[in-house]
Amino acid sequence: MMRDWPRQVLIGLVKGYRLLLSPWLGGSCRFEPTCSVYALGALQRHGALAGGYLMLRRIGRCGPWCEGGCDPVPDAAPALFSHLIPVSSEKKNPS
């Protein structure tokens, strides 16, 4: 699909990071799942816009001042993006 290319590009960038940079930087993520695994999950589940937002928010929280811990990808998109995502893709029955 043509409108899926932004998500695919971001997923490619994250996978490139995991392949090329992550081995050099070492495993220092304070979160479970790691930030790159979280980014892939967020992009796959929520698309480029909401998933990219979640990814950047997570990376912004990951630092030496953060305690970290378990932080899975949320099931629902952030409220900021709720008006952009259709509530249901089911066909409605006319009355």
Token output for 58: 């997570």
In angstroms, the CA 16 to CA 20 distance is 6
Domain residue ranges in the chain = 27-86
pLDDT score recorded for residue 9: 96
In angstroms, the CA 14 to CA 51 distance is 12
- pTM metric for this prediction: 0.79
In angstroms, the CA 82 to CA 15 distance is 27
Decide: helix, strand or coil at residue 75.
Answer: coil
Q: Residue 19 carries which DSSP code?
A: I
Digit-coded pLDDT (tens) for 8-29: 999 999 999 999 988 888 777 8
pLDDT score recorded for residue 89: 42
pLDDT score recorded for residue 1: 58
